[in-house]
Amino acid sequence: MGRHQSEVQGKVALYTPEERLRRDTTVWTLIQGILAPLQFIVFLVSAVLVLRYLTSGEGYEAATLSVVVKTLFLYAIMITGSIWEKVVFGRYLFAPAFYWEDVFSMLVIGLHTAYLAALLQGWLDARGLMLLALAAYLSYVINAGQFILKLRAARLQQADEHRPDTKLGVAA
C-alpha cells in the first residue's frame, strides 16, 4: 500500500504498514531510542559548562571536552539514524517522511563539525569557540524539536488507526 493510500482522517500517513513493521522490528529503533536521550543529557551538561565559561571565564577545558563529547554523540546518532532510515524507508537520508528533519540535521552537523575544525585549526579564540558551540546547540534544539513533533505525529497517527471510527479513514 502506498503512502497516499494509507491515509487517516485525510492526512498522509507517516509510515506505511510495511515501514511501521520494519521500524518496530529493527534494532536500530532501539539504538536511536537509547542514543537520543543520552545525547540530550550530554547536551544539557555541556550547555551548562559552555555558559559557565562564557559568564565566568572558568572551566574552558571542561567546556571544550564536553562539546567534543556532544559532537561525538551527534555523529553516532547521525550514522545510526541514517542506517535506521535505510532499513525503514530504503534510503540513508532524505526519505520523504523525514526530509526536512534531515535537511536541518545537515546544518546541525555542519555547525558541530565547524566547531571541531575551528578548535583543531585554532581559527577562533576560546570565546569564539564557545559562541560557535552555542549556535550549534541552538540548531540541535530546533532539530530535536522537529523529531519530537514527528514522533508525536506518528503516535497520534497510530492511535487514530486503532480507533474503531477511523479504520476506514472516516471520522465519526
Q: From first to last of the 172 residues of the chain, give the pLDDT tens digit.
A: 444 334 444 567 788 999 999 999 999 999 999 999 999 999 999 999 999 999 999 999 999 999 999 999 999 999 999 999 999 999 999 999 999 999 999 999 999 999 999 999 999 999 999 999 999 999 999 999 998 998 888 778 777 666 665 554 544 4
C-alpha cell at 14: 507517516
* Number of DSSP helices (H) and strands (E) in the chain, helices first: 5, 2
The pLDDT assigned to 165 comes to: 58
The pLDDT assigned to 38 comes to: 97
Amino acid (1-letter code) at residue 31: I
Query: CB of 105 within 8 A of CB of 98?
Result: no
Three-class SS of 108-138: HHHHHHHHHHHHHHCCCCHHHHHHHHHHHHH
Among residues 157, 155, 132, 143, the alpha carbon closest in space to that of 36 is found at 143
What ranges do the domains of the chain cover? Answer: 16-166
Query: CB of 39 within 8 A of CB of 77?
Result: yes
C-alpha cell at 34: 537509547
Amino acid (1-letter code) at residue 137: Y
Helix 27-56 and helix 126-162, axial crossing angle in degrees, nearest 10: 150
Q: Which distant-in-sequence residues (6+ apart) come within 8 Å of 11 by Cβ?
A: 157
The pLDDT assigned to 13 comes to: 79
Residue 172, burial from CB neighbour count under 10 angstroms (0-12, 13-18, 19+) = exposed
